[in-house]
Every structure is written in C-alpha cells, then in structure tokens.
Structure 1
Amino acid sequence: MEPTNNSPKSHTLLYILLPVVILISPILYLLLLTQFSITNYPTSIKPTQEFCVEGYFLFPNAYTIKSSFPVEIETKDKITLFNKYDVFAKVICFKPTTLLPESKQYTLNLSYLNFPNPTVFQKDLTITTQEYPDIMDVRFTEEINNNQILEFSIDYSGNHLNYFINLEDYEAPCNQESSTILCDISSLSLIQGYDYDLKLVSKYNGVLIKELKIIPVQIRTAVQIEKSSIKNKSVLQDKNIYEIDITLNKEILNTYNISIRDDSDGEVKLESSVVGNLLAIYPKEEFKQNTTYYLKLNDLTGLDGSTLANEYVLEFSIDDGPKISWTNISNSFSTSGNIVLAFNQDIKNPQNIKNYVKIDSSTNYSYSIYKNQVTINPSSSLGFCKKYTVSLAKGLVSNTGLIASSGATYSLKTTCKRTVSIGTSVQGRSIYAYYLGSGSKKIVFFGSMHGSEANTKTLLNKWVTELENNTDRIPSDKTIIVIPTLNPDGIANLSRFNAHGVDLNRNFDTPSWVTGTYLKTDFYPTGGGSAPFSEPESKDIRDLLYRESPYLTLSYHSAAGYVIPTNSSSAISKAYSYSQLSGYTYVNPGAEGSFSYDITGTFEEWAEGRGYNALVVELSSAYYDQFLQNSRAMWKMVEQ
C-alpha cells in the first residue's frame, strides 16, 4: 500500500476556505432572502385594491416591511408548523387601509430580521397607483322608470369608494357587486314624464372623489286614467251596476289593488279583468240607494314598468227615489191649466199616481205618465185667484226601482189677472190689458206706444208678474190695469211708428195736433196721422179711459229720464213722489223746453184737456227695463 499524500498545502487551503465560507454564508443567506427571494410583484396597482408580492419567503414573519402608505399585510400560500408558526410563504399581500391618490409612486421596503445595513440586504419595490375606477358600460336605455335600479360596469372594483346617483341636492346610494354598480333611484322621487340629468359620482368618507358620468334620462310617463264609464261625482239612478270600465293610457300588468266601499266603509264584492289598457270591474251585489261609494285603485303597473303616480279615487252616488226637478206651478196659474211635475228620473209606468199626489183634499184629477213627467189634469176648472196646496208623498217609484224617501209640498195660486183685448192694431194684432184687483178706483199703466221703446214693454210685463205675486198687497178699493204693448205692430217691425207710419203719441185730439211732426231734426209729413184719432191704437187707449175713468194713468217711454205730470195738483204730487223714488228728473207740467223739437197731439195733452191725471215716465235707458228702479214708485202710485 502506498502512503497517502496529504500535503500541508491542501490542508492549509481547507483551513483557510472553511472560515471564509462560514463567514459569508449568513451574508449569502441574507442576500438570498432579500434580493433574490421575490419572483414577481406589480409595478402598477389600483388605488382601492389589494395587491400581492410573490416569491420564496423563509420564516415570513421575520421580514420587516416598510411602506410609504398605510397597509394591512397578510401572508398567503404558506406552510405552518404546529398550526402556529409560519415557516414558509410564497405570497405576501398588501391591502391599503385608505384611499390612495391616483397616478402616484409609492415604495415598499423588505428587510430580513430588520437588518439595517447595508442596503444590499434590503429590497425596495417601486409601485405606481392607477387612475380611479371609471365607467365601462351603461346597462340601461335613456327611457327609464322612476323606481328603476340603474346598472353600470366599472373598469375595476375597490374597497374604499362608495358610489351615488346625484340630482342637485339629492342623492341615492348605490351598491357595488364586484365591478358592477347598482343604483336604486326610487328615493329621488323623480316625476314620471319628466327629463333629468343624473350624475354618477364616487366618494370616499363622504368627500367627492370623481364625477364619473352625467346621464340624461327620460322618466316614462305614469300610468294614467283616461276615462271611466262612470264620471267622478256622478249621481246614478240605478242600483244595479253590472260593469265599470276604466280606460288607461297604456297596457298594464294584471296586478293591482281595487276596492269599492260605501260611505259607511262597507265593502262591495267585485271581480275584475284586464285586457290591454282596459280595466273592467264587475260589482257582484246591488248598490244601495241614497248612498255614496268610493272606487279606489292602487298599485297599477304598466307593461313598461311605469306606475300609477297617486291613488285613483272615483266617487259616485246612487240617487234617492224620484224628486221633482221642475214644475209649472206658479202664482198665476191658469184656472184651466194642467199641472206638470217633471222628476229627476223616469217614473215607473204603470203606478197609481193618486196614491202620492194630492191637490188639496177634494180636487179630483186624471193623470198621464211619460218618461220623467207626470201631467195632472183637474176634472174641473180651478177657482179664480184661489190658493191650492199640491202635495207629493214619499214612495213614488222610478223605472229603475228607486223609491222616493221624501215628499214635497207646493203652493199654487190661480191667476188673479183678467186678460181683456181692448182692440187690435193696424195689422190685426190684439192689444191686451191685464186687470188685477177689484176696487172701484182704477189706475192705468201702458207702454210701447213707440215700438222702438221695447224696454217699456219688458218693464210692464215684469210689473204684471210683480202684481200677480203680491195680490194681497193690492188695496181692496183699487183695480190696476196694465197694457204692456199699445203698439204691437211697431214692436214687431222695430219701428217707432205704427203700421201706417203714424207716431201714436202725435195722433191725439188736442189743440196742438198737426199732420206733419218732428222727431229731433227729422220731419214726417204724416207723422200725426190724417186726423186726430185716425189710428186704431190711439182710439183703443182713448176708449179705455172713457170706460174706466182712472184716477191716474202712467204712460212709459224712453230714454230721457223724466217724470212729467199733467197740470193738476194730484198729478203733480204723484210726479214728485215718483221722481224721488225712481231717481228720474221731475219736469213741470207740459213738455215745453224738455225736448229740442216740437211735440204735438200727445196723449198727456189730450188727457189733461179731458180732466184725467196722467204722468209721462221716461226711462233713462233705451235698452234696460229698469224695473228695480221703478217698482217702489209704481207701488206708491197704487197704494197712495
């Protein structure tokens, strides 16, 4: 065997290298654990997201990590000893604990066992933040509903930002599901049918971070009631309503709430159906008369998702039984007239009207029914100027079965005026005088001597009605004679003159009578007639005064606003009274100076020459009857 050659040189080298290796091994180990342990890390991160560094990390908890921004650190993909000690990890993750500014550089420093020096035993990572999340897609159309959830997608999700839909001073919070933003806008109370500009914004701790997008939207029009087969607040005269149709402005879903309740909160059973935009309601029980009902409709939704903005309420009533809506009963009822009772609904026919309608207790009658009208025909003429009581008892039945729950009572007075024709006009029209009262002292009122002064006819017709309504006020010793129209041809022809072209108030037999007359500046060669009393109308008023010998006659004209008496103390006294009560100007007897043209052959001049007291009353209007202005004075002439 040959001896081993262990030269002193070899041993010396070994002795030298071994300490060196022992000395540099920790250094190499530190270099390995810092400079060469990281295999992958992001150079760009999202400001709101977690990011991770990949590598081989022995005893990861021994690393000291310094960050230029606040983070939470978590190791992942690791090996744990005794479920307690982390021996090895492949991933270290960093989660920012606050929102980082966008587009800014940050550093991470890793060192093992917090080894301070030299820097070769530390690892610095430079990381830049990206821009904040932005909208990638809008997942709805411009036309939306006011209770819709708006959906957006953003380019990445994060933990720190909150999203809102803003409208001026109002905002609706949004939910984030990964990179999807869901915004319920119902809290904004947007009005259906209006346009809005909504803003999607991001916030951090209530502070605005970014305005992502302005979204113009159109809120769909609301579901609206266009019409109903029953009008609101209508009064129906039938207890049986089989169908109520409600027409909408658009098609709706077959989901809604509907009810009909009466004014005592009793509910009516019903069924309903929807076909397109028509909602049909079928009541399943009879309604009650004299009752108000409320149909209420809620929670209507259109096929497009729009809704009924407010509760719809349809109010309607079922009428009571028949009630009189009109009657010809009056204070001047004809003694031979039929009484007509018109009701607010058609009357059942046949039924015995005599069970319900009475005329006093002894007046017999026949009757007829036609639709809503009952005609009462007394078996004999009613008494002249007599009062009757017409009573209607409850129980009358309509043709829909409604029964009157109350009756009515009317006072009827037959006419107290006697109508007499005192003659006819040139064209054969009758001239009527109306007599009221039965006393020996008589007073005459007449008008429309000039057909162009038709307001005097209206005045005297109202005077006749006033007298009929107040016959008890007529003194027992008086008879009132009223002739509203002395010149019916002039009224018919809209002319001052009669049908012969004669001014009747220039046709009386007086010393001043002439054939030719004036009206202002116009001359009428035959205006006074061919002779005094050549006209039938002037003869008729003359003959009336001859027959009746009135204590006073009033002749009405327009429109000077005068009261002119004949020249007697009685007429003058009455003219003063009339002037004071009516407000018309008193003019001394005779018309001289009161008008700007010659006045000849007048009724007043003739009456004065024959010893009659007379007043000319000139209304102050050519158009209005001025009855209220004259009525007190007219009564004064009767009562004094």
Structure 2
Amino acid sequence: MLTQFSITNYPTSIKPTQEFCVEGYFLFPNAYTIKSSFPVEIETKDKITLFNKYDVFAKVICFKPTTLLPESKQYTLNLSYLNFPNPTVFQKDLTITTQEYPDIMDVRFTEEINNNQILEFSIDYSGNHLNYFINLEDYEAPCNQESSTILCDISSLSLIQGYDYDLKLVSKYNGVLIKELKIIPVQIRTAVQIEKSSIKNKSVLQDKNIYEIDITLNKEILNTYNISIRDDSDGEVKLESSVVGNLLAIYPKEEFKQNTTYYLKLNDLTGLDGSTLANEYVLEFSIDDGPKISWTNISNSFSTSGNIVLAFNQDIKNPQNIKNYVKIDSSTNYSYSIYKNQVTINPSSSLGFCKKYTVSLAKGLVSNTGLIASSGATYSLKTTCKRTVSIGTSVQGRSIYAYYLGSGSKKIVFFGSMHGSEANTKTLLNKWVTELENNTDRIPSDKTIIVIPTLNPDGIANLSRFNAHGVDLNRNFDTPSWVTGTYLKTDFYPTGGGSAPFSEPESKDIRDLLYRESPYLTLSYHSAAGYVIPTNSSSAISKAYSYSQLSGYTYVNPGAEGSFSYDITGTFEEWAEGRGYNALVVELSSAYYDQFLQNSRAMWKMVEQ
C-alpha cells in the first residue's frame, strides 16, 4: 500500500542524462501507477518475489529518462496505488529539477601537443545521452567517454605541425549541438624535419663505394623508423643504421652500381617529444657512368702545332695507357699526359694544314674511383685554313695582321678599324674570319679572301679615331683632294691629313697590300651612318646594290654630296677609284654592335659573286 509516508527518500535534483531512484516501502509494486511529465523507463529494485513470478515488495523504484532532458527545468512524478479515490493517502507527487549539462572540470594536457595526440578531459558527471566532439571550423573528431573522462583522438583533424589552433570541445545529442564546453588554444609541435644530408638530393656521385650517409634532423628522435635504399629497378641495398641524438647515420653494406639511380626513403620518424615526420623523405642520388668528355679544345680552326686537350667530368686513373682508348685517325702517333681530369695529347709531328682529322675515344677509360666508361665519343678536328701574315706595323710598333683563306687567283679584301673609335668593325671582321674558318668548303675554288680586322691597332689601343701621330688614316691617301688640315663634323684638325699623302705606315701598308694582291673588290668597314657607298664603276655599283639589299643599309651613289655633313678628303676609296680598284665603304648603323648577322649574307654574296 502506498501512502505519502511510504516514500523515505528521493532526489529533488537530477542530472538530465542519468537514472535516479525513489526509496521507500512499496507493497505489491506492480500495482502502482506512475505518471511522469517526461519519458522514462521504470524498474523496481531491492524487491521480494514469490515463486519467481510475483513481486510482493520493493524498496526502490528507479527512473531512467529515455531522452535528454532540458537542463534547469522542474518535472513532476505522480505515484498512485490501485487508483484509490483518496488522493491524500494513496497518491504522492514528487517535484524534481534537472541540473545543468556536464561541464569540464579539468584539462589533462599542456598547450603544446602533437597532431596525433589523444586529448583527455574530465567532466563533472557522466551521462548516457550526450556525445562529445572536438571541433575545428567545419571539421570534427569524435570523442570516447569513460565514466567522467572524455578522450578525444585529434589525428583525423589533420592538424599541421608547427601551427596554432583554437579547438572546441562540444556536446551533442542526436547530432544537435547541446553545449560548447570550452575553447582550447593549442600549439602543434613542429614536425621532425631533415635539415641536411651528407649527399645532396639529385646529386651524381662518382664513386661506387659509399660507406656512410648522414642525415641531420631538427630534433632528437626515437630509435624506431623505417629506412630503405632501392635502385631504379627496385633492387634493395643492404644497410645498417644508428641514431645518436639528432643524427641518423646510414651504413650501406654493399657496393653501388655505376650508371644507376638510387632512392633513400625514410618513414615513421618520431621525435622524443612525440612529433612525427610529416611526409616520406626521399633522397635521390645516382652513381655516374665512367668518364665522359666535358670539354675539349678541338675546333674547326685547330693549330697545326697545337696539343689536343680532353677534359673529363671526373678525374682519370693514372697511370693507364691512354693509347688504348684515344685515336687520331689511324696513323697519327702522339705522347700524352694525365693530370686530374685532363688528358693532353701531343702529336709527334705537326698536323697538316687545313686538314680534317677524326679523334675517337673508345669505351673502357677508367676514373680514379674505378668507374669505367661504358661509351665512347668521336670528334671532328680541322686544322686552321687561314694563313696569318703581318702586312706591316703601326707607329707604335704593333703588327697589322691579314688573314688569308682560300687559294684562288681572284682576291677580295675586307678591312676594318681604320678609325680606332670604331672598334665594332674589328669585332665584325673577327667573326667573319671565324665564319670563313667554319665554312671553308663554301669558299669558291677560284677565290682568296683577305681579312684585316684592325688596320689601326694604335687607335684601338688608345681608344682614338686617329693613329699614334694624330692622323686620320682615311684622310692620308694620295688623292687630288688631299689636304693637311681636316674636319670631323665641326671640329678642325690642322694635321689630320698627315704631313703628306701616305705619311703614315698604316696607310702605306694597305696601299702596298692592294699593289701586291690586285683584289677584284675591297670593302672598308666604318660606323655608324648605315650606308653602302661604291666607287664609280659598274662592278662596284652592282655589288653595292646587292650589299644594300641584303644588309638593309642605305645605298648612296658614288660621289654623292651631302652624305656627310663635313668635307671628306684624301680617302681610301677616292685613291682606290683613281687607281682602278673596285671598293665599297660599308658604314654600320650602330656605333657599338658588330651587326654580324645583319652583314654575313651580304659578305658571302661579295665572295660568291
């Protein structure tokens, strides 16, 4: 029987997520009617049962909410016995208030953590209906609850080592946010990082024997990790390793193979502080092939008395018989020397003039580390085809050189730097000599080409238009217009034409060359008017038109007045025309650039016409 005096104890305040019980003396507990303002499951405990079937007495009736109750809210439980009409005696109303939802009591970790750490919290009480999560913006990691301890594995958040974050611990019910318990600022420890390696990534090593590879880390690590070295065919290299502080030493236990790429891979490195290697570390390196030529002085204008130099990409074993590997044609004998990575070949006799040779290197040459060349190389050598002649000397004793290419009876002369301030014409004609050397097969058999890059070497040395006597060489020729005093623009030079026609050795030298060689055409290069001006003959005029069209320079009629803004007297072209020589003045359009590419087609045209 239930009376208001049958209940001895019940909670007036309950946790929204927990079971609670009413204590008392309850006769035939199944005869009670219980009305609750919230959904519950009811269970009688501490009871007496007859025949394992009939409950005749109980001391405890427990109530388990089947849903999460709102916090800080009052609820009523009504207990009645057999629906007796006397509510005072046979009924009892219990008023119960829910407490606030669980809150954090303690954070059991420091602010500096690892990105795979399990964070531990304690809450003031446990419950059945709430789930806990660590939130970071739109991402969350579920937590486990063990009694009043919350354990949160944050590895699924993929936090970046070395960064700071504000994490939130929240509670949810059926996916709905119930409470934000705490914002936790954390600093993720920096990752284990490789600071340097004794072998640089993608390096090419010239030794098959590598006894130790040292990896320096940014912090001390545990002696547990995964390491391997495999070649590009996935063959594994046997190795041992050790850790001392932040140094990981790797000891390969077998010889590496030449001409092979290897990959050293490190995984699962863990620092003493629990941080990890963020990504797999891969060190790529390769063992070089045997010696290969990296440089040689072999060229298309090789000196007939020169030594051949072969420089290799690695030092060469010394001694070894170089003649087993290097051949110059089949009959050229030579001596040789080895110094570090360089082999010098000294032919026993002079090479032939303007002759082609084949220099071959067979495979098998050995480096000083035992690498063996697996391939050879072949080079074409051509000795110089130019004959170098000094046609005279300058005032200060500098030689004036002419370069002869070809052997035909018809001769053409190119000369430059008559004015030392026009050094780009010297560069142009030096490039022209190289072009001719590289293309001697193109020179017509009936032609000889004579090139004088520098007629005024003193002017070049002194950065002066004039020679060392202060004479403008292109005003020193014996012509009807020759005068002692000359002009350059508005400047007057009292002795610019020299003391007499051909008073200067340089002008005599070019005069005497033309007397000896009788060229069919002479081209004098200057800068920077951008003109082509012929002497007054049909042959010179025709060639000037061609040169103008191919170079883009302006054609100017012979003797045209006003081409220059000052009087021009005693010039080479006036003298040449008076002696019946065909000549062109070519004025580059730049005072600085040699404009070789702009002129080369026209220069070849003058040779091939």
Compute the TM-score of the two structures, normalised by the length of structure 2: 0.98
Q: Secondary structure at the match of 1:158?
A: coil
1:243-280 Cα distance to aligned partner (Å, 9 max, x none): 11111222211111111101111000001111122111
Q: Secondary structure at the match of 1:632?
A: helix
Partner of 1:262 in structure 2? 231
Residue 60 of structure 1, CA deviation:
2.4
Q: Secondary structure at the match of 1:367?
A: strand
Question: Quick check: 2:48–2:57 contact (8 Å CA) kept in 1?
Answer: yes
Residue 239 of structure 1, CA deviation:
0.4
1:20-48 Cα distance to aligned partner (Å, 9 max, x none): xxxxxxxxxxxx73311222211111111
Question: Quick check: 1:347–1:373 contact (8 Å CA) kept in 2?
Answer: yes
Question: How many matched pairs?
Answer: 609
Moved more, 506-515 or 309-318: 506-515
Question: Quick check: 1:154–1:181 contact (8 Å CA) kept in 2?
Answer: yes
Question: Quick check: 2:25–2:57 contact (8 Å CA) kept in 1?
Answer: yes
Residue 217 of structure 1, CA deviation:
2.0
Partner of 2:14 in structure 1? 45
1:314-335 Cα distance to aligned partner (Å, 9 max, x none): 1111111111111101110000
Output the CA distance in 1 between the equivalents of 2:219 and 2:577.
84
Question: Quick check: 2:2–2:89 contact (8 Å CA) kept in 1?
Answer: no
Residue 613 of structure 1, CA deviation:
0.7
Output the CA distance in 2 between the equivalents of 1:422 and 1:499.
18
Residue 534 of structure 1, CA deviation:
2.0
Output the CA distance in 2 between the equivalents of 1:243 and 1:183.
43
Output the CA distance in 2 between the equivalents of 1:58 and 1:502.
143
Q: Secondary structure at the match of 1:604?
A: helix
Moved more, 273-282 or 591-600: 591-600
Residue 116 of structure 1, CA deviation:
4.7
Output the CA distance in 1 between the equivalents of 2:530 and 2:229.
65
Output the CA distance in 2 between the equivalents of 1:553 and 1:419.
18
Output the CA distance in 2 between the equivalents of 1:81 and 1:485.
134
Choose the corresponding residue for 2:253, options 284, 287, 291: 284
Output the CA distance in 2 between the equivalents of 1:397 and 1:84.
101
Output the CA distance in 1 between the equivalents of 2:560 and 2:249.
79
Moved more, 302-311 or 466-475: 302-311
Question: Quick check: 1:34–1:110 contact (8 Å CA) kept in 2?
Answer: no
**Does structure 1 residue 564 correspond to structure 2 residue 533?**
yes
Question: Quick check: 2:297–2:309 contact (8 Å CA) kept in 1?
Answer: yes
Residue 215 of structure 1, CA deviation:
1.9
Residue 591 of structure 1, CA deviation:
5.5
Output the CA distance in 2 between the equivalents of 1:367 and 1:505.
51
Residue 497 of structure 1, CA deviation:
1.8
Residue 439 of structure 1, CA deviation:
0.6
Partner of 2:313 in structure 1? 344
Question: Quick check: 2:143–2:150 contact (8 Å CA) kept in 1?
Answer: yes
Output the CA distance in 1 between the equivalents of 2:560 and 2:206.
65
Question: Quick check: 2:17–2:65 contact (8 Å CA) kept in 1?
Answer: yes
Residue 62 of structure 1, CA deviation:
2.5
The gaps in structure 1 that reach 5 residues or longer are 1-31
Moved more, 174-183 or 57-66: 57-66
Output the CA distance in 2 between the equivalents of 1:208 and 1:472.
90
Partner of 2:200 in structure 1? 231
Cα 1:113/1:617, change in 2 over 3 Å:
same
Cα 1:64/1:502, change in 2 over 3 Å:
same
Q: Secondary structure at the match of 2:2?
A: helix
Residue 618 of structure 1, CA deviation:
0.9
Moved more, 473-482 or 180-189: 180-189
Residue 145 of structure 1, CA deviation:
1.6
Moved more, 159-168 or 118-127: 118-127
Q: Secondary structure at the match of 2:86?
A: coil
Q: Secondary structure at the match of 1:33?
A: coil
Question: Quick check: 1:421–1:432 contact (8 Å CA) kept in 2?
Answer: yes
Residue 56 of structure 1, CA deviation:
2.4
Output the CA distance in 2 between the equivalents of 1:332 and 1:531.
41
1:522-550 Cα distance to aligned partner (Å, 9 max, x none): 22222222222222222211111111111
Partner of 1:618 in structure 2? 587
Question: Quick check: 1:389–1:409 contact (8 Å CA) kept in 2?
Answer: yes
Question: Quick check: 1:222–1:309 contact (8 Å CA) kept in 2?
Answer: yes
Cα 1:59/1:607, change in 2 over 3 Å:
same
Output the CA distance in 2 between the equivalents of 1:157 and 1:427.
108
Moved more, 458-467 or 484-493: 484-493
Moved more, 83-92 or 482-491: 83-92
Cα 1:417/1:591, change in 2 over 3 Å:
farther
Residue 143 of structure 1, CA deviation:
2.0
Output the CA distance in 2 between the equivalents of 1:183 and 1:268.
41
**Does structure 1 residue 59 correspond to structure 2 residue 59?**
no
Output the CA distance in 2 between the equivalents of 1:448 and 1:183.
86
Output the CA distance in 1 between the equivalents of 2:465 and 2:54.
130
Residue 150 of structure 1, CA deviation:
1.4
Question: Quick check: 2:400–2:455 contact (8 Å CA) kept in 1?
Answer: yes
Question: Quick check: 1:222–1:307 contact (8 Å CA) kept in 2?
Answer: yes
Moved more, 84-93 or 455-464: 84-93
Partner of 1:244 in structure 2? 213
Q: Secondary structure at the match of 1:611?
A: coil
Output the CA distance in 1 between the equivalents of 2:282 and 2:44.
66
Q: Secondary structure at the match of 1:537?
A: helix
Moved more, 513-522 or 170-179: 513-522
Question: Quick check: 2:4–2:88 contact (8 Å CA) kept in 1?
Answer: no
Residue 510 of structure 1, CA deviation:
1.6
1:156-188 Cα distance to aligned partner (Å, 9 max, x none): 111101111112221111111111111111111
Output the CA distance in 2 between the equivalents of 1:86 and 1:533.
147
Q: Secondary structure at the match of 2:101?
A: coil
Partner of 1:606 in structure 2? 575
Partner of 1:434 in structure 2? 403
Question: Quick check: 1:590–1:605 contact (8 Å CA) kept in 2?
Answer: no
Output the CA distance in 2 between the equivalents of 1:444 and 1:591.
24
Q: Secondary structure at the match of 2:24?
A: strand
Output the CA distance in 2 between the equivalents of 1:452 and 1:254.
74
Output the CA distance in 1 between the equivalents of 2:227 and 2:499.
86
The gaps in structure 2 that reach 5 residues or longer are none
Residue 469 of structure 1, CA deviation:
0.7
1:292-314 Cα distance to aligned partner (Å, 9 max, x none): 11111111111222211111111
Question: Quick check: 2:2–2:91 contact (8 Å CA) kept in 1?
Answer: no
- Aligned pairs (5 A) from 1:60-209: 60-209=29-178
1:372-430 Cα distance to aligned partner (Å, 9 max, x none): 00000000000000011111111100000001111111111100000111112222221
Question: Quick check: 1:166–1:200 contact (8 Å CA) kept in 2?
Answer: yes
1:77-104 Cα distance to aligned partner (Å, 9 max, x none): 3333344433333222211110001111
Output the CA distance in 1 between the equivalents of 2:332 and 2:186.
79
Q: Secondary structure at the match of 1:397?
A: coil
Question: Quick check: 1:529–1:535 contact (8 Å CA) kept in 2?
Answer: yes
Question: Quick check: 2:422–2:591 contact (8 Å CA) kept in 1?
Answer: yes
Cα 1:127/1:439, change in 2 over 3 Å:
same
1:103-157 Cα distance to aligned partner (Å, 9 max, x none): 1100111122343532432111101111111122222222222111111222211
Question: Quick check: 1:223–1:248 contact (8 Å CA) kept in 2?
Answer: yes
Output the CA distance in 1 between the equivalents of 2:458 and 2:495.
17
Question: Quick check: 1:250–1:277 contact (8 Å CA) kept in 2?
Answer: yes
Output the CA distance in 1 between the equivalents of 2:501 and 2:3.
147
Cα 1:116/1:623, change in 2 over 3 Å:
farther
Moved more, 260-269 or 491-500: 491-500
Output the CA distance in 2 between the equivalents of 1:217 and 1:538.
89
Output the CA distance in 1 between the equivalents of 2:558 and 2:399.
32
Moved more, 462-471 or 76-85: 76-85
- Aligned pairs (5 A) from 1:544-555: 544-555=513-524
1:464-489 Cα distance to aligned partner (Å, 9 max, x none): 11100110110111000111111122
Question: Quick check: 1:260–1:268 contact (8 Å CA) kept in 2?
Answer: yes
Moved more, 389-398 or 272-281: 272-281
Output the CA distance in 2 between the equivalents of 1:53 and 1:427.
128
Residue 460 of structure 1, CA deviation:
0.8
Question: Quick check: 2:533–2:544 contact (8 Å CA) kept in 1?
Answer: yes
What is the RMSD of the two structures over their aligned residues, measured on CA atoms? Answer: 1.4
Output the CA distance in 2 between the equivalents of 1:77 and 1:540.
136
Question: Quick check: 1:591–1:599 contact (8 Å CA) kept in 2?
Answer: no
Question: Quick check: 1:459–1:625 contact (8 Å CA) kept in 2?
Answer: yes
Output the CA distance in 1 between the equivalents of 2:291 and 2:457.
44
Output the CA distance in 1 between the equivalents of 2:182 and 2:94.
35
Residue 359 of structure 1, CA deviation:
0.5
Q: Secondary structure at the match of 1:502?
A: coil
Question: Quick check: 2:409–2:446 contact (8 Å CA) kept in 1?
Answer: yes
Q: Secondary structure at the match of 1:83?
A: coil
Question: Quick check: 2:195–2:216 contact (8 Å CA) kept in 1?
Answer: yes
Residue 240 of structure 1, CA deviation:
0.3
